[in-house]
């Protein structure tokens, strides 16, 4: 068998107003992890959707194990040994793991339509064993964690005898522990000569996992290198086309008045005794392991979930927030980590999404002042470097990272006094991250109190004035900017000395 599993050359895909993929190329060897990186909107997902048969390219040549092919459909891609693991999994929740792995191809008795359950379960177990994953194949998928569902997707790919597995930002939703498990699993795949194409914005993963790395920019091919021959700085330069001097452009301001104070917040079984303040002039970080209760605290402050105990104060005054609408009226904004479900109306345009939460600011005499609406939107598109052919583009057609930037624009336009950012840079490329950090500086300069929830410790350490660490539903400790190190934060975050809620 040929050493080269896949060659894609001169790939082009045009959409109205954009060339999503503009002469891209990629080769994949047997047993290789090939990282595909590039800024938001660079064309990574589009190139991989072409490979998976979900999109028909306008031009380009694809060879599988040396043979030229035209990939006609997702089914055809599957027959060719190509599997793509999307971020939104394609599983049926109320069926078991085993049924999902063999969906539509369950082993049956003879020529009958009667499923041979013992064989189904043992075949499914055999596949999971091949990748050394220990899961009960009878468990329904709705009971599986995100990480387990991802493993089921990979097992499903193996059941189709995939030789090429594409993972598009698989790490974005995983905890550190789950990430280790994923890396082990990927190594098991490559040991079996499967080639893996791995897309991620977390550059450190490339160095842990990758054999080679290909960089795309504006749909075009920039270059391919062995991971051993690149540095973080050199690949950043390839990605953004310039040197990135400072990944964390933190500015410090004088700490002003207390803006937000929460005192003894509790929600039964979720978090307890949560007290902290955020002043003007500062950025406060809220970190901890996934599941520590950070997002839940933010949701409760924002009125999305009910509180069982505690009091919220805004500018020294006790307030009650019973719904997100009330929070917004008080000038509190929450940027959620899950842009698909909470942040955006996918069928609406960039303009409509940007102004949606604060349309009243644009209304005079009962009419929306459209010219102002357009110019406001254009300003954010420019400031946040949102890659879109225009402000009327449907948000659905933007790349993942650019959708996240629209969520940001929307909240910036609400002119909140308190902004809570939940994982603000997840899925955002390195260059755009810096822009977002600069914007946070700008918000603080204007007197907005900023609270950042993040699992990215370098980000928290790089941008926050104070860092609160949560563990098992409580604040386990607070560190100043000067005190904070990754080790100290991890120590508090795993704090076994503290009792759980």
Ligand X SMILES: Nc1ncnc2c1ncn2[C@@H]1O[C@H](COP(=O)(O)OP(=O)(O)OP(=O)(O)O)[C@@H](O)[C@H]1O
Residue 404: CB minimum distance to Mg ion, A: 11
Q: What is the SS3 string spanning 152-178?
A: HHHHHHHHCCCCEEEEECCCCCCCHHH
CA distance 55 to 37: 20
Which of these, 385, 392, 449, 456, lies nearest to 423 by C-alpha position?
456
Give the neighbor-by-neighbor strand order of the sheet with 82-85: 82-85, 164-168, 195-199, 33-38, 212-217, 220-226
Measure the CA dihedral 409/413/414/419, to 10°.
Answer: 50
Q: Which stretch binds Mg ion (CB under 5 A): 50-58, 130-138, 145-153, 391-399?
A: 391-399
Residue 47: CB minimum distance to Mg ion, A: 10
Q: What is the SS3 string spanning 405-417?
A: HHHHHHHHHCCCC
Buried b (16+ CB within 10 A) or exposed e, 238-272: bbbeeeeeebeebeeeeeeeebbbbeebbbeebbb
Per rule CB under 5 A, count of chain residues that contact Mg ion: 3
Residue 398: CB minimum distance to ligand X, A: 5
352-371 footprint of Mg ion as x/- string (CB under 5 A):
--------------------
CA distance 221 to 212: 14
Q: DSSP states of 310-350 as a string?
A: EEEEETTEEE---SHHHHHHTTEEEE-S-IIIII--TTSBH
CB 239 within 8 A of CB 246: no
Residue 224: CB minimum distance to ligand X, A: 16
Q: Are strands 33-38 and 18-29 parallel, antiparallel or unpaired?
A: unpaired
Please, which residue, 398 or 436, has the CB nearer to Mg ion?
398
Contacted entry of Mg ion, ligand X, none for residue 303, CB cut-off 5 to 8 Å set by kind: none
Contacted entry of ligand X, Mg ion, none for residue 387, CB cut-off 5 to 8 Å set by kind: ligand X
Contacted entry of Mg ion, ligand X, none for residue 402, CB cut-off 5 to 8 Å set by kind: ligand X
Binding site for ligand X (CB under 6 A): 15, 18, 20, 38, 40-46, 387, 397-402
Please, which residue, 16 or 366, has the CB nearer to ligand X?
16
Residue 423: CB minimum distance to ligand X, A: 15
Question: Interface residues for Mg ion in 37-66 (CB under 5 A)?
Answer: 45
CA distance 230 to 403: 30
Question: Interface residues for Mg ion in 395-414 (CB under 5 A)?
Answer: 399-400
Residue 112: CB minimum distance to ligand X, A: 43
Contacted entry of ligand X, Mg ion, none for residue 455, CB cut-off 5 to 8 Å set by kind: none
Please, which residue, 214 or 399, has the CB nearer to Mg ion?
399
Q: Which stretch binds Mg ion (CB under 5 A): 65-73, 284-292, 359-367, 394-402?
A: 394-402
Rg, the chain, Cα only: 24
Residue nearest to Mg ion (CB): 45
Contacted entry of ligand X, Mg ion, none for residue 46, CB cut-off 5 to 8 Å set by kind: ligand X
Between the CA of residue 80 and those of 21, 51, 88, what are the distances in Å? 22, 10, 22
Residue count (the chain): 501
Contacted entry of Mg ion, ligand X, none for residue 42, CB cut-off 5 to 8 Å set by kind: ligand X
Contacted entry of Mg ion, ligand X, none for residue 195, CB cut-off 5 to 8 Å set by kind: none
Residue 432: CB minimum distance to ligand X, A: 9
Please, which residue, 20 or 151, has the CB nearer to Mg ion?
20
Residue 42: CB minimum distance to Mg ion, A: 8
CB 271 within 8 A of CB 501: yes
Please, which residue, 139 or 385, has the CB nearer to ligand X?
385
CA distance 25 to 397: 23
Please, which residue, 56 or 226, has the CB nearer to ligand X?
56
Residue 210: CB minimum distance to ligand X, A: 17
Residue 166: CB minimum distance to Mg ion, A: 11
Please, which residue, 18 or 213, has the CB nearer to ligand X?
18
Angle, CA 214 vertex, CA 211 and CA 216 arms, to 5°: 160
Residue 433 per-residue DSSP state: H
Please, which residue, 84 or 464, has the CB nearer to Mg ion?
84
Residues contributing to the site for Mg ion (CB under 5 A):
45, 399-400
């Amino acid at each position: 068998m040929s050493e080269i599993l896949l060659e894609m050359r001169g790939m082009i895909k045009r959409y109205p107003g954009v060339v999503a993929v503009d002469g891209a190329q990629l080769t994949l060897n047997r047993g290789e992890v090939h990282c595909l990186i590039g800024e938001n909107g660079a064309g990574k997902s589009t190139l991989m959707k072409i490979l998976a048969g979900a999109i028909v390219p306008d031009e380009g040549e694809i060879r599988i194990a040396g043979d030229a092919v035209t990939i006609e459909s997702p089914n055809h891609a599957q027959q060719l040994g190509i599997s793509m693991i999307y971020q939104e999994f394609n599983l049926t929740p109320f069926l078991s793991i085993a049924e999902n792995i063999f969906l539509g191809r369950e082993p049956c008795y003879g020529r009958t339509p009667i499923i041979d359950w013992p064989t189904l379960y043992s075949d499914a177990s055999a596949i999971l064993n091949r990748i050394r994953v220990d899961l009960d194949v009878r468990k329904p998928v709705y009971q599986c964690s995100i990480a387990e569902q991802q493993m089921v997707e990979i097992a499903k790919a193996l059941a189709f005898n995939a030789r090429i597995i594409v993972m598009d930002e698989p790490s974005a939703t995983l905890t550190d522990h789950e990430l280790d498990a994923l890396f082990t699993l990927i190594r098991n795949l490559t040991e079996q000569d499967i080639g893996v194409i791995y897309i991620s914005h977390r550059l450190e993963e490339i160095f842990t996992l990758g054999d080679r790395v290909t960089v795309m920019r504006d749909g075009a091919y920039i270059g391919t290198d062995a991971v051993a021959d690149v540095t973080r700085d050199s690949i950043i330069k390839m990605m953004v086309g310039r040197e990135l001097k400072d990944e964390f452009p933190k500015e410090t301001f004088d700490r002003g008045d207390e803006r937000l104070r929460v005192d003894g917040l509790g929600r039964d079984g979720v978090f307890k005794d949560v007290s902290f303040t955020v002043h003007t002039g500062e950025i406060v970080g809220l970190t901890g392991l996934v599941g520590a209760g950070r997002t839940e605290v933010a949701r409760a402050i924002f009125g999305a979930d009910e509180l069982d105990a505690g009091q919220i104060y805004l500018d020294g005054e006790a307030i009650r927030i019973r719904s997100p609408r009330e929070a917004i009226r008080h000038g509190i904004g929450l940027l959620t980590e899950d842009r698909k479900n909470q942040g955006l109306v996918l069928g609406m345009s960039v303009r409509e999404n940007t102004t949606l939460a604060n349309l009243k600011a644009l209304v005079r005499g009962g009419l929306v002042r459209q010219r102002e609406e357009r110019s406001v939107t254009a300003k954010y598109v420019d400031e946040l470097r949102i890659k879109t052919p225009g402000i009327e583009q449907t948000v659905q057609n933007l790349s993942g990272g650019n959708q996240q930037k629209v969520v940001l624009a929307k909240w910036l336009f609400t002119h909140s006094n308190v902004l809570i950012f939940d994982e603000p840079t997840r899925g955002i490329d390195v260059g755009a991250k810096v822009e977002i950090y600069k914007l946070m500086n700008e918000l603080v300069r204007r007197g907005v109190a900023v609270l950042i929830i993040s699992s990215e410790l370098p980000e928290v350490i790089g941008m926050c004035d104070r860092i609160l660490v949560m563990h098992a539903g409580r604040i386990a400790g607070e560190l100043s900017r000067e005190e904070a190190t990754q080790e100290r934060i991890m120590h508090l975050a795993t704090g076994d000395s503290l009792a759980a809620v």
